[in-house]
Amino acid sequence: MAAKTIISRPIYGTLSPQPGKHHLFIADAEGALAITDMAGKAPSGFFDGAEIVFIPGPEGKHIAGLEALKPAQLHIAPSFASLLPRLRQTLTNARMGLRLYLAGTEGLIGQAMQVALEAGIDHTSMQTEHRGSLARRMQCVHCKGITENVTTQPALCSHCGLLLLVRDHYSRRLAAFQGVCINAEDRSEIPPMEEIFR
Amino acid sequence: MGITFRKETFRDDYTFRNSPEHIRRFPFPFNEDSYMYAVNIEPHVVGPKGSVLENLIDVDEHYVSEMQDRALVLAEDPLRCQSLPHMTLAGWDLLELLMEQQALGYPEHFTLERNGDRWRWINRPLGIDDTFTFGDTSTLPYGPMEYITRQSQGDFCILDQRDGNLWMDAGMVTTQADWSLDFDIGMNFFEWHAPVPLAHEKGIFTRALKFLTNIQQGKPARRLNWTMTINPRLDTSPENYHKWGPDRATVTPDNVGQKVHLRVELQSFWRLPRSNAIVFPIRCYLIKMDELVTQPKWARRLHRVIRDLPEELATYKGLTRYRPTLVEWLSKLDDGSPTSPGFGPD
């Protein structure tokens, strides 16, 4: 059972074209559709100053739709980890006035925002739109390990093996929800695992 | 006459006790027979002699042992003390505040000598005599916040003030009631309080933030908060919840008096002069039920408070598993007679 939502739980919006000359889009999987949907509202020439970095994911779809926008640059990456060095460099060298748009899974938005925060960009200035999976990135509060793509409640920590309640409490700095041992008081209590973050 | 510091533990064999004088000075947090959240903030001014408010930064008989327990926690988990890069100046502000207050209140134990930027700090209970340059981190064995909070009872959060909000950007947190600095660092006031039930809906945090962002230098404020802890364990962190959580299932009618502790936080809020940050000391006081009920008024009142506590609050405070046992035990000490107004014992 998920707790009702709380204030630290991120809220995502709908991408909308921002004034400015330089636009950086970071998206994965169905996040591409958030960009193509937004393109309909963008002024002509908008994508002349845009860079799109895209992680298609296992299904490999939506690349053609992004190419059709004719962005100044389109970079396809196999994973977020592989994208990280390039992204850090881009954000470090970014000029004042760069606009950032993040779209796709919660894990992608969170991790891209984390890198942007480290580069000194204020989180409220970023456009975000959630598309696709609700799978969560979770930090185990006990061993500090991150478990990716958590879909169940409770969930097993992939590092220390404790059974964790996946809370709505979210840290932008860690780009993760908090996982806390669900049966710490009595390990013999094993609540059923339900698939709820799909 | 100085304080006689107790040698005691907050883990393993749990030898922590309060002396009779410390029982009577315990900051009992209920001034009536029921409890609900309120913005119970008041000016942090000096209180009666012999109370925990006799000095604005209280040092008590547990000081030396608490500092030893903190060192053990930090050795196991250095992430309990963190400071984001922009918070060093606030760390120096805090060092000054705690050295000044401890030296002022307890001159027999602490001495601060200042000669321009050259400072000498003598901490006799911990055997420390250091000379350093104020503002120069290389002259201290730790960063300024870590240095002084390894020598000061209570947890410390330093809150940066910007954009009309307060940001948890530094802290020393080893005696916490189940929240994680490592997870919450960098969050704003509403975000780090997000898991607290009921209080958001009541507008508590909006009003509290308004009050806190207006705190002026030299005019600190305070409030009390409370929970309960099984065994006198200072480190009830979420990090170690899987280690101390099982204790909650060990409460029986025979051991309530020794095992169950009321845990009171004296929280104070101070504006820091150079950084304009707010420091938020969270000073934890523990008292076991056997000690608390030596004051009959407290026994009666605590029975009524715990018995009538709203279910959400009992769950949030982690009392669910042993509340019936505790209420039953306390009920035998409650003859139903009225309690006198105010917090103190009769």
Give the domain ranges of chain A. 23-130, 136-195
Which residues in chain A touch residue B186, judged by CB atoms under 8 angstroms apart?
171-173
Bridge partners of B118, per DSSP, are: B115, B133
Please state the domain extents for chain B.
20-42+50-331
pLDDT in tens, A87-98: 999 998 888 889
Find the CB nearest A173 among B79, B186, B246: B186
| Cα-Cα-Cα-Cα dihedral sign, residues B146, B152, B155, B160 | negative
Chain A, chain B: beta-carbon pairs less than 8 Å apart: 63
Domain at A23-130: CATH code: 3.40.50.80
Question: Nearest-CA distance from A128 to chain B in Å?
Answer: 19
| Exposure letters B104-122 (e unless 16+ CB within 10 A, then b) | ebbeebbbbeeeeeebebb
Name which of B146, B140, B42, B56 is nearest B94 in CA terms. B146
Q: What whole-number distance in Å separates Cα of residue B312 and Cα of residue A4?
A: 13
Higher per-residue confidence, A187 vs A2: A187
Q: Could you tell me the two tokens for B307?
A: 């018995």
Which residues in chain A touch residue B312, judged by CB atoms under 8 angstroms apart?
none
Single-letter amino acid code for the residue at B142: Y
| Phi-psi category of residue B121: left, alpha or beta, with phi > 0 → left and psi -120 to 50 → alpha | beta
| Exposure letters B315-329 (e unless 16+ CB within 10 A, then b) | ebbbbeebbebbbeb
Which residues in chain A touch residue B192, judged by CB atoms under 8 angstroms apart?
8
Q: Which of B25, B70, B80, B223 is catalytic?
A: B223
ipTM entry: 0.89
Bridging pattern class, strands A50-55 and A23-28: parallel
pLDDT confidence of residue A3: 41
Name which of B87, B145, B147, B153 is nearest B121 in CA terms. B147
pTM of the full structure: 0.92
Checking if the pLDDT of A194 tops 50, the result is: yes
Confidence of residue A1 (pLDDT cuts 50, 70, 90): very low
Mean pLDDT for A15-39 is: 95
Q: What whole-number distance in Å separates Cα of residue B122 and Cα of residue B95?
A: 13
pLDDT in tens, A91-150: 988 888 899 999 999 999 999 999 999 998 989 999 999 999 889 999 999 999 999 999
Mean pLDDT for A68-82 is: 96
Active site residue B223: yes
Instruction: Give me the helices (H) in chain B, please.
Output: 20-24, 63-76, 88-105, 144-149, 181-184, 189-192, 204-213, 241-244, 256-259, 289-292, 296-308, 311-316, 323-331
Map residue B160 onto helix, strand or coil. Answer: strand
Q: What whole-number distance in Å separates Cα of residue B340 and Cα of residue B80?
A: 41
pLDDT confidence of residue B213: 96
The stretches in chain B having pLDDT less than 70 are 1, 39
- Per the CB < 8 A criterion, the answer to whether A78 and A108 are in contact is no
Measured CA angle at B188 (ends B186, B192), to 5 deg: 85
pLDDT in tens, B292-345: 999 999 999 999 999 999 998 899 899 999 999 999 999 999 999 999 998 888
Strand A176-181: give its sheet, edge to edge: A146-150, A136-140, A176-181, A163-171, A155-156
Which residue out of B242, B248, B315, B320 would a mutagenesis test of the A interface target, given it has the greatest number of A Cβ atoms within 10 Å? B242
Q: Name residues whose C-beta falls within 8 Å of residue B345's C-beta, 6 or more positions apart in sequence.
A: B24, B28, B295, B297, B298
Checking if the pLDDT of A2 tops 50, the result is: no
Q: What whole-number distance in Å separates Cα of residue B50 and Cα of residue B27?
A: 11
pLDDT confidence of residue A191: 95
pLDDT confidence of residue A4: 56
Beta strands in A78-162 (DSSP E): 99-104, 127-130, 136-140, 146-150, 152-153, 155-156
* Residue B338: CB atoms within 10 Å: 8
